[in-house]
């Protein structure tokens, strides 16, 4: 992906792509383009969620160590 999108941006665009893929009049080339974009956006979401999870776990472990 060209620029770093926020999780909210990735999810919103992924939803738009999914909506477009539901249109019956799509030709195969457009369908493939949308599928590729959707796959990249899903990967973006997974990456960001993994980063947030790691940060949360680090903060949680640090706060447990301060008890």
DSSP string, 25-64: T--HHHHHHHHHHHHHHHHHHHHHHHHHHHHHHHHHHHHH
**Res 1: pLDDT:** 46
CA distance 21 to 35: 8
Tens digit of each residue's pLDDT (9 = 90 or more) over 35-57? 999 999 999 999 999 999 999 99
For residues 20-44, average pLDDT: 97
pTM of the model: 0.81
CA distances from 27 to 14, 16, 40 (A): 19, 17, 20
In this structure, how many other beta carbons lie within 10 angstroms of the beta carbon of residue 42? 14
**Res 63: pLDDT:** 85
Tens digit of each residue's pLDDT (9 = 90 or more) over 5-19? 999 999 999 999 999
């Amino acid at each position: 992906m060209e620029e770093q999108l926020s999780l909210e941006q990735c999810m919103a665009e992924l939803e738009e792509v999914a909506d477009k893929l539901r249109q019956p009049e799509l030709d195969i080339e457009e369908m493939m383009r949308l599928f590729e974009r959707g796959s990249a956006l899903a990967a973006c979401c997974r990456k960001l969620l993994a980063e947030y999870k790691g940060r949360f776990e680090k903060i949680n472990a640090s706060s447990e160590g301060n008890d």
